[in-house]
Structure 1
């Protein structure tokens, strides 16, 4: 991450795990969707996005 990048702790963790060079250490497909930054349960509905 560039110095001074303003991202949340969860976002930073996810990005670093996605960019891991070692494929065996990289976040898996299933782990990605369980990561706290990827909160699929609280996504806005299409209706609420249309009102924004």
Structure 2
């Protein structure tokens, strides 16, 4: 079973590959990608808590 961190990393990696293939400047996009991953993990965590209640 994958953890929420595993999924966030995989999605972030896929997003980086997509941006590179489009010729985007990864240095500029990297912070946004990291923030996306952090938010995804937080949302997954809060969703899991709701299901446990």
TM-score for the superposition, normalised by structure 2: 0.37
> Structure 1 or 2: larger helix share?
2
**Greater relative contact order structure (CA < 8 Å, 6+ sep):** 2
TM-score for the superposition, normalised by structure 1: 0.37
